[in-house]
């Protein structure tokens, strides 16, 4: 290019100045809108699961002896509890809260607060220590606990304990069951799309102290046998700089709500029995309702994660069933082609058995769920995090692996979260499996 070429270029620009300015303005405006509105990646920096002290362990013999000595249960109820424990898939080292270790038990508001503080603060202390994050830098806080909702709220208790900043966006989710952990993550994700360059903490737990059932209605005794002390704290970030140190990236969240159906709405229901004693009743239709909720959930999730071959087979079977033969069984996609690890809510042995059967999974795919149920019991919404910690403790998580967290809860809800590992993930310090992972997997009694 010589001087004449430059002079001609300058003249050309002068003659087309308006066009150039307009095009440049549209280009800048378009880039600005794209940058401001594009979905932000949500990273899971780290998480922590609460490990209760040894003196809170409840072996079967001690559990049954305490149940007998309370004097609230008749012989039929005691025998029912014994059978549930034997068939539940729980081990001898699960935990019940301090108040339940006394004879008679001492449930109170103060004791319930102590349980909540012990679990939430224990998980958060470990999370902040492992991540070196200053609590003052937390911009979003979401806490979920179904059955214990004091005033001030659990989220306010955390704000007070860690002296979080005054403009923090805090939320307290109650009454949403064991699937509320995924709901809390979804809420945090949406908030992180709006608020730039910040951290979000999700705390998931359940409180047992004030929700132990002291009656003789069989359907309301099951939660006593399954639910145990536990909780988790998860640190999420939308900061691009955290990608290098984060464990996972959130890929999808899919939520399904069956509450419009009366049977689904009442299948997990808190109520009083004929004697006026409060508890949570589990319907005999629970597994069938959970199966329907799962089908609806995977119908939405499948197209997002499955390879095209599986989607075509599923769609073809659906068309044949609708148009020609209603007796044709629906095709169950092979989700093993989409996911490397499965974290199925450890709600009970029957829940895990049903999903293993319906999704055609191998024993290794449900190992984390079965071992979590054995070691920690049903810890409600936090169980999927104990399961993920199990996979990490076994050193099975590799870069690029995808994890499917599936949770069920009252309402009735089925919720899924999909995560992608950003590196070969090692277990965090003071993890819940640190002192016992070498013992697992254990052989379960059939």
Residues identified as active-site:
178, 257, 341, 345, 374, 378
CB 407, CB 345: distance < 8 Å: yes
Q: Among positive and negative, which fits the CA dihedral 127, 129, 130, 133?
A: positive
Q: Is 50 left (phi over 0), alpha (psi -120 to 50) or beta?
A: beta
Total residues belonging to the chain: 446
CB 417, CB 434: distance < 8 Å: no
**Residue pointed to by tokens 């898939």:** 89
**Residue pointed to by tokens 């089925």:** 414
CB 196, CB 44: distance < 8 Å: no
Alpha-helical segments (H) within 132-209? 154-162, 180-194
CA distance 272 to 216: 11
CB 352, CB 366: distance < 8 Å: yes
Q: Rounded to the nearest 10 degrees, what angle do helices 3-15 and 17-37 cross at?
A: 80
């Amino acid at each position: 290019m010589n001087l004449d070429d430059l002079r001609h270029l300058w003249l050309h620009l002068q003659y087309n100045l308006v066009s150039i300015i307009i095009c440049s303005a549209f280009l800048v405006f378009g880039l600005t809108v794209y940058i401001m509105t594009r979905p932000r990646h949500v990273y899971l920096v780290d998480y922590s699961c609460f490990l209760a002290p040894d003196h809170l362990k409840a072996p079967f013999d001690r559990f049954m002896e305490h149940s007998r000595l309370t004097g609230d249960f008749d012989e039929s109820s005691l025998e029912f509890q014994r059978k549930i424990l034997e068939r539940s898939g729980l081990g001898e080292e699960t935990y019940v809260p301090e108040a339940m270790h006394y004879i008679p038990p001492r449930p109170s508001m103060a004791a319930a607060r102590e349980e909540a503080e012990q679990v939430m603060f224990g998980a958060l202390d470990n999370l902040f220590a492992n991540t070196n994050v200053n609590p003052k830098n937390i911009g979003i806080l979401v806490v979920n606990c179904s059955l214990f909702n004091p005033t001030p709220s659990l989220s306010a208790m955390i704000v007070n304990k860690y002296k979080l900043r005054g403009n923090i966006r805090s939320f307290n989710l109650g009454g949403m069951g064991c699937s509320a952990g995924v709901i809390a993550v979804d809420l945090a994700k949406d908030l992180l799309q709006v608020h730039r360059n910040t951290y979000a903490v999700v705390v998931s737990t359940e409180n047992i102290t004030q929700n132990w059932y002291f009656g003789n209605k069989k359907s309301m005794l099951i939660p006593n046998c399954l639910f145990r002390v536990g909780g988790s704290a998860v640190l999420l970030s939308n900061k691009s700089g955290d990608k290098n140190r984060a464990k996972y990236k959130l890929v999808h969240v899919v939520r399904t709500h069956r509450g419009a159906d009366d049977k689904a709405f009442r299948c997990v229901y808190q109520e009083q029995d004929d004697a006026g004693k409060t508890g949570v009743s589990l319907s005999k239709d629970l597994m069938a309702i959970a199966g329907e909720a799962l089908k609806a959930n995977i119908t939405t999730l499948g197209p997002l994660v499955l390879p095209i071959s599986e989607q075509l087979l599923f769609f073809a079977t659906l068309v044949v069933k609708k148009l020609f033969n209603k007796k044709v069984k629906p095709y169950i996609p092979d989700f093993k082609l989409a996911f490397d690890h499965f974290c199925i809510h450890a709600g009970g042995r029957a829940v895990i058995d049903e999903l293993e059967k319906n999704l055609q999974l191998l024993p290794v795919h449900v190992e984390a769920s079965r071992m979590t149920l054995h070691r920690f019991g049903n810890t409600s919404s936090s169980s999927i995090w104990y399961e993920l910690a199990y996979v990490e403790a076994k050193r099975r998580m590799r870069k690029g692996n995808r994890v499917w967290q599936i949770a069920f809860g009252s309402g009735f809800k089925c919720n899924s979260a999909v995560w992608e590992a950003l590196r070969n993930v090692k277990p965090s310090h003071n993890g819940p499996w640190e002192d016992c992972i070498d013992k697992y997997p254990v052989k379960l009694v059939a």
